[in-house]
Amino acid sequence: MPLLEPRTAGPGAQILTPILAVLATLLAGGVLFFALGLNPFETIEEIFVAPLLDPFSRSELLVKAAPLALIGTGLAFGFRAGIWNIGAEGQFIVGALTGGAVGLAFWGVEAWFVLPLMALAGALGGFLWAMIPALLRVRFQTNEILVSLMLVYVALNLLSAMVAGPLRDPDGFNFPESRMFHDAATLPILIERSRVHIGVPIAFGIGLVAWLLYSTHVFGYKVRLMGAAPRAAVFAGVSPNGMVILCLGLSGALAGLAGVFEAAGPAGQLTRDGIANGYGFVAIIVAYLGRLHPFGVLLAALALAVTEIGGDAAQVTLGLPAAATDVFQGMLLFFLLAFDTLTRYRVRLFQRRVA
Residue 132 is predicted with a pLDDT of 97
Residue 201 has pLDDT above 90, yes or no: yes
Amino acid found at 215: S
Mean pLDDT of 128-143: 96
Q: What is the mean pLDDT of residues 81-98?
A: 96
Residues 101 and 215 in one domain: yes
Confidence (pLDDT) at 55: 87
What percentage of the chain reaches a pLDDT higher than 70? 96
The answer on 154 and 288 residing in a single domain is yes
Q: Averaged over 33-61, what is the pLDDT?
A: 90
3-state secondary structure of 11: coil
- Split at pLDDT 50, 70, 90, the class of 156 is very high
Give the Cβ contact number of residue 307 at 10 Å.
Answer: 23
Residues 92 and 145 in one domain: yes
The alpha carbons of the chain give a radius of gyration, in whole angstroms, of 21
The chain-wide mean pLDDT, for the chain, equals 91
More confident residue, 354 or 184: 184
Specify whether 228 is located in the same domain as 252.
Answer: yes
The H or E element that residue 111 is part of is none
Residues 326 and 258 in one domain: no
Residue type, position 54, single letter: D
CATH code of residue 284: 1.10.3470
pLDDT in tens, 157-187: 999 999 999 999 988 888 899 999 999 999 9
167 and 307 part of one domain = yes
pLDDT band at 323 (very low <50, low <70, confident <90, very high): confident
Helices (H), the chain: 13-35, 40-48, 50-53, 55-80, 88-105, 114-140, 144-164, 199-216, 218-228, 230-235, 240-262, 272-275, 279-289, 294-317, 322-344
Same domain? For 129 and 200 the reply is yes
Same domain assignment for residues 270 and 221? yes
Task: Using DSSP, state whether 28 is helix, strand or coil.
Answer: helix
Same domain, 166 and 117: yes
Which pLDDT score is estimated for 128?
98
Q: Which residues contact 96 (CB under 8 A, 6 or more apart)?
A: 122, 159, 256, 259, 260, 262, 263, 267, 270, 275
Bridging pattern class, strands 3-6 and 345-348: antiparallel
Stretch 198-209: mean pLDDT: 94
- Per the rule left: phi > 0, alpha: psi between -120 and 50, beta: everything else, 291 is left
Residue 355 has pLDDT above 60, yes or no: no
Same domain, 79 and 135: yes
Report how far residue 318's alpha carbon sits from residue 316's, in angstroms, rounded to the nearest whole number: 6
How many domains is the chain partitioned into structurally? 2
pTM of structure: 0.93
At 217-227, the pLDDT tens digits run 999 999 999 99
Q: Single out the residue of 283, 281, 272 nearest to residue 74, CA to CA.
A: 283
Domain containing residue 16: 1-36+321-355
Is pLDDT of 350 > 70? no
Q: Domain check: are 302 and 330 in the same one? A: no
107 and 184 belong to one structural domain: yes
pLDDT surpasses 70 at 351: no
Model pLDDT, residue 115: 95
